[in-house]
A = this chain, B = another copy of it.
Amino acid sequence: MTSSTSRQFRPLPVPSVKVGGYWGHWQDAVCDHTARILLDRCVEARMLEQIDPDVPSPGIVIPILNWLGTTQMFWDSDLGKSIETIAYSLYRKPNAALEARADAIIDMYEKLQAPDGYLNSFFQRIKPEWQWTNLRDFHELYCAGHMIEGAVAYYQATGKRKFLDVMCRMADHCVKKFGRGPGQVRGYCGHEEIELALVKLARVTGRQDYMDLAKFFVDERGQTPNFFVEEARAHGRDPKGVQKSTLEYNQSHLPVREQAKVVGHAVRAMYLYAAMADLATEYNDDSLTAALETLWADLTRKQMYITGGIGPAAANEGFTDHYDLPNDSAYAETCASVGLVFWASRMLGRGPDRLYADILEQALYNGAITGLSLDGKTFFYDNPLESSGKHHRWTWHPCPCCPPNIARLVASLGSYIYQVADDEIAVHLFAESEARVELANGARFTLRQETDYPWSGDISIAIDPEVPARFAVSLRVPAWAREARLMVNGQPVDPGAVGAEGYIRIEREWTKGDSLAMTLPLEPRLLRAHPAVRQDAGRVAIMRGPLVYCLEGADNGAGLNSVLLRHGLGAAQTATIPDLRGAIAIDLPVLRESGESWGEALYAEKAPETEPGQARLVPYHLWDNRAPGEMLVWLRQAAE
* C-alpha spacing A607/B606, complex, angstroms: 27
Contacts of A321 in B (CB 8 A): 388
* C-alpha spacing A300/B388, complex, angstroms: 21
* C-alpha spacing A482/B301, complex, angstroms: 50
Contacts of A532 in B (CB 8 A): 559, 562, 595
Taking a contact as CB atoms under 8 Å apart, the answer to whether B602 and A533 are in contact is yes
Contacts of A560 in B (CB 8 A): 534
Q: Which residue of B lies closest to A563 (CB)?
A: B537
Q: Which residue of B lies closest to A527 (CB)?
A: B603
A538 adjacent to chain B (CB < 8 Å): yes
Taking a contact as CB atoms under 8 Å apart, the answer to whether A529 and B602 are in contact is yes
Taking a contact as CB atoms under 8 Å apart, the answer to whether A537 and B636 are in contact is yes
Stretch touching chain B among A7-15, A45-53, A322-330, A462-470: A322-330
A260 adjacent to chain B (CB < 8 Å): no
- Chain A interface size band reads 35 or more
Q: Which residue of B lies closest to A608 (CB)?
A: B531
A500 adjacent to chain B (CB < 8 Å): no
Taking a contact as CB atoms under 8 Å apart, the answer to whether B529 and A594 are in contact is no
Taking a contact as CB atoms under 8 Å apart, the answer to whether A530 and B388 are in contact is no
Taking a contact as CB atoms under 8 Å apart, the answer to whether B561 and A537 are in contact is yes
Contacts of A326 in B (CB 8 A): 328
Contacts of A328 in B (CB 8 A): 326
Contacts of A541 in B (CB 8 A): 603
* A592 CB, min distance to chain B CBs, angstroms: 9
A304 adjacent to chain B (CB < 8 Å): yes
Taking a contact as CB atoms under 8 Å apart, the answer to whether B530 and A603 are in contact is yes
A177 adjacent to chain B (CB < 8 Å): no
- Bitwise, A549-570 to B at CB < 8 A (1) or not (0) is 0000000000111101000000
* A595 CB, min distance to chain B CBs, angstroms: 5
* A99 CB, min distance to chain B CBs, angstroms: 43
Give the contacting residue for A538; candidates B329, B598, B604, B636; CB below 8 A: B636
* A168 CB, min distance to chain B CBs, angstroms: 43
**Could you tell me which residues of chain A, from 567 to 621, have a CB within 8 Å of some CB in chain B?**
593-595, 598, 600-608
A528 adjacent to chain B (CB < 8 Å): yes
Contacts of A603 in B (CB 8 A): 306, 527-530, 541
Q: Which has the most chain B C-beta neighbours within 10 Å: A530, A538, A595, A600?
A: A538
Given A301-B600, A531-B559: A388 touches B606 (CB 8 Å cut-off): no
Contacts of A300 in B (CB 8 A): 602
* C-alpha spacing A216/B362, complex, angstroms: 62
Q: Which residue of B lies closest to A321 (CB)?
A: B388
- Bitwise, A329-372 to B at CB < 8 A (1) or not (0) is 10000000000000000000000000000000000000000000
A162 adjacent to chain B (CB < 8 Å): no
Contacts of A637 in B (CB 8 A): 639
* C-alpha spacing A560/B538, complex, angstroms: 12
Taking a contact as CB atoms under 8 Å apart, the answer to whether B601 and A530 are in contact is yes
* C-alpha spacing A639/B640, complex, angstroms: 7
Give the contacting residue for A639; candidates B534, B608, B639; CB below 8 A: B639
Given A525-B605, A537-B562: A531 touches B594 (CB 8 Å cut-off): yes
A439 adjacent to chain B (CB < 8 Å): no
* A34 CB, min distance to chain B CBs, angstroms: 31
Taking a contact as CB atoms under 8 Å apart, the answer to whether B531 and A602 are in contact is no
- Bitwise, A170-207 to B at CB < 8 A (1) or not (0) is 00000000000000000000000000000000000000
* C-alpha spacing A639/B326, complex, angstroms: 24
A43 adjacent to chain B (CB < 8 Å): no
Contacts of A297 in B (CB 8 A): 600
Contacts of A529 in B (CB 8 A): 602-603
* A354 CB, min distance to chain B CBs, angstroms: 14
* A320 CB, min distance to chain B CBs, angstroms: 9
- Bitwise, A500-537 to B at CB < 8 A (1) or not (0) is 00000000000000000000000001111111111101
Q: 10 extra interchain contacts, Cβ-Cβ under 8 A, other than A534-B561, A537-B562?
A: A301-B602, A306-B602, A306-B603, A326-B328, A530-B598, A530-B601, A534-B560, A538-B564, A538-B636, A639-B639
7 nearest CB pairs, A to B = A534-B561, A537-B561, A531-B593, A639-B639, A531-B608, A531-B595, A527-B603
